[in-house]
Amino acid sequence: MGDHHHGPAQGISRWLFTTNHKDIGTMYLWFSFAMFLLGGFFAMVIRAELFQPGMQLVEPGFFNQMTTLHGLVMVFGAIMPSFVGLANWLIPMMIGAPDMALPRMNNWSFWILPPAFLMLASTLFMEGGAPAFGWTFYAPLSTTYAAPSVTFFIFAIHILGVSSIMGSINIIATVMNMRAPGMTYMKMPLFVWTWLITAFLLVAVMPVLAGAVTMMLMDIHFGTSFFSAAGGGDPVLFQHIFWFFGHPEVYIIILPAFGVVSQIIPAFSRKPLFGYASMVYATASIAFLSFIVWAHHMYTVGMPIAGELFFMYATMLIAVPTGVKVFNWISTMWRGALSFETPMLFCIGFLILFTLGGFTGLMLSIAPADFQYHDTYFVVAHFHYVMVAGAVFSMTAAVYYWLPKWCGRMYSEAMGKTHFWISFIGFNITFFPQHFVGLAGMPRRIPDYALQFADFNMMSSIGAFIYGASQLLFLYNVIATIVAGKPVSDEKVWDGAEGLEWTVPTPAPYHTFEEPPAVPKPAGTI
């Protein structure tokens, strides 16, 4: 099915049967934004319950369903598919390929996602309710509790794993086989590099997640005892399998974000990225190290001291390549001709807040200290600083940066900046106080809390509603741009808010290789 359809069914069939990487990228982006709003709604329920101490609004069991679905929908429905959508849109254009290597599979990768998440969301209406065991679904809670909905949850996880693996194979095949002549690996844009490495991570760890949920399925329905001590199994085995997937997973979420920031900061600094090769090596180092740190999520299970030491030092080591990246981004801006349009604001916000999240991660890496932090709101604060201020901020920057290229119209810069400041302030009001209540001992995933935590929780909830509201402004800006934005030209964009003409910063070119020298024609030829 090409770009040209005719007849009444054109509208639906264009999207249902498309093999066009841009259409598929667009569908991923819209789907992930819908999941972002759904996951955000679940978070609002959580924060509304925690607005004051005591039990109001929801039952404890339903609160647990909200924490579970919020995590699952945000990680697997919002963040991951949004970056896959970005990969679909940008990678072929950045490497000079006509499309993805496997366009039919690309369509399939996307279209199995909506049914999977429909199934996951439908568990809310099943007998016994949705899964209530947290997004990490630790056994034996997830296997002995086993509401009927758990089976549907397992099937949904399998489907999204299949989608991730197919999408990754597609990216690997495209980047390795379809680069334009002269586009060597070390001339690829950083975004392409981060996604190539991310794709290998996904292919490596998604089958491990599939193994974990298959063993769960067996324990629930077929009388096995993988995770049951009574039958000779071990619940800690579940944690090892889960986190062997789960730790690389958090780098799968953040590496494409690093790629986005590495494209946008040079554009608004008007100079090339500082330390390109070191950025590639740092990304690869992070990816390698992500496989040997998984048990830092499990310091409190009683592992041998040698195990704690190994995972502690390996985890601290990840700070080195990550620090290299942060210093390179700052060096890129150093003495650059900076301008602070919306995408750049989100990237600078990313830089400051992600670094803070990195420091709290370093604190959590220290085994004896982690005994105190474990399962408190300090951990919640830490990973929201890296996932929201990291992945979501950079994804938002990407949308503002590439939207004019995608639809040929310019967004409202004034509204974009407003969105940034409300987001930035709301985010910090939400998550900064959680460091304090966490260090003071407030446990996570609990619907009630002691009186001394009341003030900070009220702040946190107010911040969450501010941050949530700012995303509706974002949605409005994007739709208004697509429907009625000012058309962009190569040179000028009319900025209605200021009544001035701005010269748009030309992004770094997609093809960074040199043109071959023109061959002089022999005399006498035309």
Active site residue 470: no
Of 21, 297, 384, 445, the active-site residue reads 297
Q: Is 164 a catalytic residue?
A: yes
For residue 129, give both structure tokens.
């309710």
- Active-site residue among 187, 444, 486, 511? 444
Query: What is the SS3 assignment for 159?
Result: helix
Candidates 21, 47, 70, 435; catalytic one? 70
> Smallest Cα–Cα separation from 409: which of 354, 516, 485, 490?
485
Whether 322 is catalytic is: yes
Set 32, 168, 290, 322: catalytic member: 322
Tokens 């699952």 found at: 72
Half-sphere exposure of 84 (CA within 13 A, CB side): 32
Closest CA to 336 of 394, 272, 417, 278: 272
> Does residue 444 have an active-site annotation?
yes
Has 297 been annotated as catalytic?
Answer: yes
Nearest to 257, CA basis, from 165, 113, 388: 388
Q: Does a cis peptide bond (omega within 30 degrees of 0) precede residue 509?
A: no
Q: Is 4 a known active-site residue?
A: no
Q: Catalytic: 249?
A: yes
355 noted as active-site residue: no
Which helix (H) or strand (E) segment is 265 a member of? helix 235-269
Residues in the chain: 526
The catalytic position among 99, 234, 375, 495 is 99
Residue 247 a catalytic site member: yes
**Three-state secondary structure readout of 58-99:** CCHHHHHHHHHHHHHHHHHHHHHHHHHHHHHHHHHHHHCCCC
Q: From the candidates 21, 47, 179, 247, which is the catalytic residue?
A: 247
Kindly name the residue from 109, 149, 198, 262 that is annotated as catalytic. Answer: 262
DSSP conformational letter for 501: E
> What are the DSSP calls for 199-228, one per residue?
HHHHHHHHHHHHHHHHHHHHHHHS---SS-
The verdict on whether 99 is a catalytic residue reads yes
CA dist., res. 342 & res. 396, Å (int) = 9
Query: Among the options 251, 329, 373, 411, which is catalytic?
Result: 251
Residue among 325, 382, 435, 445 flagged as catalytic: 325
Residues 15, 30, 108, 135: which is the catalytic one? 135
Active-site annotation holds for 251:
yes
Options 143, 164, 174, 423, the catalytic residue: 164
Phi, psi of 503 (to 5 degrees): -80, 125
Beta bridge pairs of residue 502: 493
Return the closest-CA partner of residue 145 out of 68, 256, 77, 207.
68
Say which residues have a Cβ less than 8 Å from residue 511's Cβ, sequence separation at least 6: 96, 180, 182, 183
Candidates 296, 382, 435, 445; catalytic one? 296
**Residues 239, 227 contacting (CB under 8 angstroms):** no
Catalytic residue among 23, 249, 341, 413: 249
Q: Which residues are catalytic?
A: 70, 99, 135, 163-164, 247, 249, 251, 262, 296-297, 322, 325, 444
